[in-house]
Amino acid sequence: MQHKKHIPLDERSKSPVVEDYDVFAQCLQAYGESDLYADIETWLVEDNPYRRPLRPHVFKYLDFRKPLTREELLTYTSLTASRTLLTLYESDFVLLPRRDLASKRADLEEFYGRRAQVLGAVVRPWLESYLFSFLDDTISVSGRWTLASMKEYFESFLAEERRRTECPMASTLLASADPAHAARTCLLQLAGDFLLESSAMGRNAGGHYGPLQSEMFKILIDELGYGVHQTRHSSLYEGALESVGLASTPHTYWQFYLGSSLLLNNYYNYVCRNHGRFFRYLGALFQAETAFIALCRRMADTLRQIFGPRVDVRYFQEHAHIDGHHSRMVYDKMILPAVEMFGEGIIPDIVRGFEEGKLLTDIATQDFIDQVAWSDGSAHWKSLAPAIHRNIEKSHDKPRVQRFVEPRGELSVTHVHDGDELCFIQSGTMRFVTGHERSVLLHAGEGTVIRRNRLHGAIIESDECTYDIHSIGEVQRWLS
């Protein structure tokens, strides 16, 4: 038999669909031309999983060509990429509203429609490289890994987890000026992932990969409550949200997700959707199941401390228990047998996934801590505005300024800026929003400092409001 000639990679014809940035940019813009993703006039979208503001009118000004670096993860372009990527990933999942499907039927058709599928297929891999390439540079798994060195590595992690006493998330909630608000903010950050819990994992249920597949399924079926709806982990999480007065339909709080929360959620889809990353997922899964044990134990106590007995902490109690098993199941029944079956060559992938999950979790935690601190400091940032404004007026080297005139009810969908900004009101009244049900009212002659990377939005509360946004770059420079 004659063998077909193998075509080396660099001799294959280049396809614009695969390689050409302009093709991607056109597809992204076309994808954004939809009511589903346009700006809205409310903060929340209840019970419609298809509608997600992406601020698509800004797409054409953004450049996704050069992958993000570690320092750029919280920029506006990154937030846009994360919002869009999660929307694309979730078009693989069954999402149905609880009520009134008839009025949302057209949204459903569009969300899952041919146009979104074709455009999404081009857009998704570009956004993935844009968001996640930094991991390749940040995390090094070089050197020769053996079964013994991997065991040593993971066992020292397990020992460290057992000794862990501090929990930055819990301490942040308790130390906040408004612990109940900080706790709700934390719960709604996690809701993006937890209300669809195990959906990314479920992408690995199909296929044909031997005993590992059955072990994966055992974990999956635990996550799904063995088919008993009330005990599904996502159902338990609905209970937690409702017990503190939050809505439990997915993505009601879309606008209040921090970029880093979306990035972490996207990461699990990133390693689960493309099965070439399966071994990385094993490492990431091991990290998540293990780190979750102590976190959930602390969260259950902390939420009780903040809200009293009315808070439903079953979700956290369940995980403090079951993830002890899941951690061992992933390690003993999946990671060790996988290395045995497929050889030591897969260890760097496993370790990479493990380190990536850990890094992205740390980044999300720190971003949350910074957002709570900034939001808690609203009065302080407001108090600085008049002096900064005077200093700008006196300065010969004035920062770039943009003026906006907006009518009552005009809502600025939440976003971030890449440098510090001064928002200053010339006339009228603006409600400046730093989180769900958290805002500060700004009148003429008042303003606030918007710190770099901090999520915010605004709504006009007078017949008209004229305000300026000064791109001050770094707030310290304008304080003296």
Q: Does 233 bind Fe ion (CB under 5 A)?
A: yes
Total interface residues for Fe ion by CB under 5 A: 5
Contact 104, 311 (CB under 8 A): no
- CA-CA distance, 162 to 74, in Å (whole number)? 31
Nearer to Fe ion, 326 or 436 (CB): 326
Residue type, 237: Y
- CA-CA distance, 169 to 376, in Å (whole number)? 15
Closest CA to 174 of 360, 371, 369, 366: 369
Q: Which part of the chain contacts Fe ion (CB under 5 A), choosing from 33-41, 91-99, 179-187, 233-241?
A: 233-241
Q: Give the C-alpha distances (Å, rounded to integers) separating 363 from 31, 67, 70, 133, 357.
A: 29, 17, 10, 16, 10
**Taking the complex as a whole, how short is the minimal distance between the CB of residue 212 and Fe ion, in angstroms?**
17
Q: Which part of the chain contacts Fe ion (CB under 5 A), choosing from 26-34, 265-273, 282-290, 357-365?
A: 282-290
Query: Residue 465's beta-bridge partner residues?
Result: 406
**Taking the complex as a whole, how short is the minimal distance between the CB of residue 230 and Fe ion, in angstroms?**
15
Nearer to Fe ion, 104 or 415 (CB): 415
Considering only 323, 355, 356, 446, the residue that binds Fe ion (CB under 5 A) is: 323
Nearer to Fe ion, 88 or 422 (CB): 422
Nearer to Fe ion, 145 or 432 (CB): 432
Residue type, 26: Q
Coil/strand/helix, residue 391: helix
Q: Does 83 bind Fe ion (CB under 5 A)?
A: no
Query: Residue 427's beta-bridge partner residues?
Result: 466
Closest CA to 277 of 289, 269, 266: 269
Closest CA to 93 of 21, 4, 201, 11: 201
Q: Does 55 bind Fe ion (CB under 5 A)?
A: no
- CA-CA distance, 343 to 349, in Å (whole number)? 12
- CA-CA distance, 36 to 39, in Å (whole number)? 9
- CA-CA distance, 197 to 296, in Å (whole number)? 15
Residue type, 228: V
Q: Which part of the chain contacts Fe ion (CB under 5 A), choosing from 288-296, 301-309, 343-351, 364-372?
A: 288-296
Nearer to Fe ion, 188 or 320 (CB): 320
Q: Which part of the chain contacts Fe ion (CB under 5 A), choosing from 87-95, 226-234, 268-276, 343-351?
A: 226-234
Nearer to Fe ion, 233 or 382 (CB): 233
Q: Does 297 bind Fe ion (CB under 5 A)?
A: no
Q: Which part of the chain contacts Fe ion (CB under 5 A), choosing from 6-14, 113-121, 222-230, 401-409?
A: 222-230
Q: Does 326 bind Fe ion (CB under 5 A)?
A: yes
Three-state secondary structure of 198-226: CHHHHCCCCCCCCHHHHHHHHHHHHHCHH
Nearer to Fe ion, 30 or 38 (CB): 38
**Taking the complex as a whole, how short is the minimal distance between the CB of residue 457 and Fe ion, in angstroms?**
8
Nearer to Fe ion, 223 or 349 (CB): 223
Q: Does 223 bind Fe ion (CB under 5 A)?
A: yes
Q: Which part of the chain contacts Fe ion (CB under 5 A), choosing from 29-37, 53-61, 137-145, 232-240?
A: 232-240
Residues that bind Fe ion (CB under 5 A): 223, 233, 289, 323, 326
